Amino acid sequence: MGQSLWIRLSAPVTTYQARPGDPVQAVLTHDLVCDNEVVLPMGARIEGIVRSRHKVGLGIRHETATLDLDFNRAFVGPGIGIDITTQVEEVENAREIVRKGVIRGIRSSDTFQGRINSRLIHLPTWNPYSDPVLIAYKALFPIFPEPEIYYPAGTDIRLRTTGEITSLQPIASASRESAAAAKPDSGEMDELVDELPVRVTTQKNKDADLLNIIFLGTQDEVTESFRQAGWDGADPLSRRAVLRDFYALLNNSGYAHEPMMTFYLNGRAEDMNWQKSLNSYGRRDHLRIWQWSSGKPDQSVWISSSTHDVSAALSVRHRGFEHHIASDIDEERSTVIRDLDFAGCIKSVNYIARPEMPMTSHNAAGDVMHTDGSVAIITLQACQSSEPQPSSGVRQASFKPGNYAYRFLRRQILTFRSDMLRANIIYSLYDCGRVAVMTMRHQPVTP
């Protein structure tokens, strides 16, 4: 009870078409371990139903969509199922939030340009909707995010068990994989880790992220591992990339190949970078990788810094939008291992402590980073994914956002509704207070 289960949707689900009682299917992306025994193996089929859903429609009744999923059955073998009681805790890298197990969609007017729009209404005019500035603004930026919820196949969801899992006999020992795998020599790995720098720097030589993962494998193995795990590379900085990035900001949507700031290791930029996002501009998993010379011609070593972006805010100091990361960088290290392991690309994983690594520090943006001080050494292999296919009983939901006229009408209704509720001095005072509190939370804290 109270254990986390990371699952991956096998088929899409959307508030456009989902109905209460519809089946939902996913797979477990890691072993569920209890008392050092595997209770549910990685790849186990997880089934559930749509408990309830509210769609936005034209926006007359609802401003936001809601989706309540109940995953209540796990299959540990052909025809061998057990009952589980769970609650959705998080949809990874989603712009939607989860409250008491219910996924709650965004308000299409709660965006960067939407908040500016609500503030322009306070301009001293006889009729705010006839203000030329406001009319010009709406004409120049007619971009509003899709308020309905849509999660494609491959979306990762974190569940929390709310009851005991009455399983059969344990599947296997939790140490079965590491015992069978050919581990690298621990003495050689200790020497390698001792040679590594602790962190990377920005172009201005300011301390940035901590190095927390080592990959052992060829460049092709590293590239194929992340591709098989569903990660994407970053586009180089260009005018087209800036425009796409700006659109993703206005639309509050994901940019799968969003450019990354270049970091440096001993004055050298990263050799490759990878990221995984969903439908949020501010949330993504990402890491940068450098090739490291280990002194052995037969050994390819790649070192990495991995962090999880959780928000994006306007930074006056950096003259642009700046991402803020989750403080627990060890959790992101676990995410990388989980994804690569589920894709069948990991031969073994070992952890080596680094006493010189600070347990608490700051990155270049001033965000706090917490770590246990260990580096994960991942030995790669040719990927051997065994992800099961969804059963024929699962309905493949499609995403149909409606035609332009329908979306234009909905946008006008939602904008008018938002203005009537929030374009007043009481809400403005609340909003300013909320922004002030969020700004204070991002102030650097002394380690």
CA pair distance 81, 84, nearest whole angstrom = 10
Query: No. of H helices and E strands in the chain?
Result: 9, 27
Cβ atoms of 236 and 243 closer than 8 Å: no
pLDDT of residue 445: 47
Cβ atoms of 84 and 44 closer than 8 Å: no
pLDDT tens figures, 89-125: 999 999 999 999 999 999 887 776 666 555 555 544 4
pLDDT of residue 230: 94
pLDDT of residue 341: 95
| Three-point CA angle 315, 97, 102, nearest 5° | 175
Residue 135 CB-half CA count within 13 A: 7
pLDDT of residue 384: 87
| Three-point CA angle 288, 289, 290, nearest 5° | 130
Local structure of 219: helix, strand or coil: helix
Which residue is associated with the tokens 């051997």? 384
pLDDT of residue 208: 93
Cβ atoms of 339 and 29 closer than 8 Å: yes
The residues, ordered by sequence, that sit 6+ positions from 74 with a Cβ below 8 Å of its Cβ are: 28, 40, 44, 45, 46, 47, 81, 82, 84, 165
CA pair distance 28, 37, nearest whole angstrom = 16
The residues, ordered by sequence, that sit 6+ positions from 409 with a Cβ below 8 Å of its Cβ are: 58
Radius of gyration for the chain, computed over Cα atoms and rounded to the nearest angstrom: 24
For residue 191, give both structure tokens: 């020497």
Kind plus residue range of the DSSP H or E element containing 441: helix 425-441
Residues of the chain with pLDDT under 50: 123-130, 175-182, 392-393, 444-447
The stretches of 73-111 forming alpha helices (DSSP H) are none
The residues, ordered by sequence, that sit 6+ positions from 268 with a Cβ below 8 Å of its Cβ are: 290
Q: Count how many residues are written for the chain.
A: 447
**How would you classify residue 154: left for phi > 0, otherwise alpha for psi between -120 and 50, otherwise beta?**
left
Strand order in the sheet with 172-173: 32-34, 37-40, 172-173
Q: How many CB atoms lie within 10 A of CB 427?
A: 12
CA pair distance 438, 115, nearest whole angstrom = 15
Nearest to 38 by CA among 178, 203, 192: 178
CA pair distance 182, 350, nearest whole angstrom = 11
Report all structural domains of the chain as residue ranges with CATH numbers, in order of start. Answer: 1-107+148-165 (2.40.128.260), 110-143+404-447 (no CATH), 175-380 (no CATH)
C-alpha distances (whole Å) from 292 to each of 158, 207, 216, 217, 307 are 34, 19, 10, 12, 20
Q: How many CB atoms lie within 10 A of CB 160?
A: 16
The residues, ordered by sequence, that sit 6+ positions from 59 with a Cβ below 8 Å of its Cβ are: 147, 410, 413, 414, 417
One-letter amino acid at 192 equals L
